[in-house]
Amino acid sequence: MICFSMKLSAHDDYGLRLLLRIARGEENTCMTTAVLAEREGMSMSHVGKVLRLLRAGKFIESTRGNCGGYKLSHAPEHIFVSEVLSALGGRLFEDDYTSATRN
């Protein structure tokens, strides 16, 4: 039996939560920094920092204007948690994961 535990940092958790919120794309709602901060109970400055990383990783894109905000850059099925965590600075598995599963 192979068991492993995955520990996500709060930063990684926030990034994944924001990405999921954007992916859901609530109808008639612009996914702005303010809306995302309110819905996720986070500060606007922290949301802004995480969104910059997600945008730099090309997972989301931003639009300016009256109903500007954030949306996914790709279809959800083309976004992988491991790649998102890497862009956020985290990892899905530790370096020793593969050696630990062989023991």
- The pTM assigned to this predicted structure is 0.78
Can you give the pLDDT at residue 77? 92
The CATH code that applies to domain 10-102 is 1.10.10.10
Distance CA 3, CA 15 (A): 25
Can you give the pLDDT at residue 49? 94
pLDDT in tens, 19-72: 999 998 876 567 899 999 999 999 999 999 999 999 999 999 998 888 889 999
Distance CA 23, CA 87 (A): 17
pLDDT in tens, 2-17: 555 567 788 898 999 9
79 has pLDDT over 90 = yes
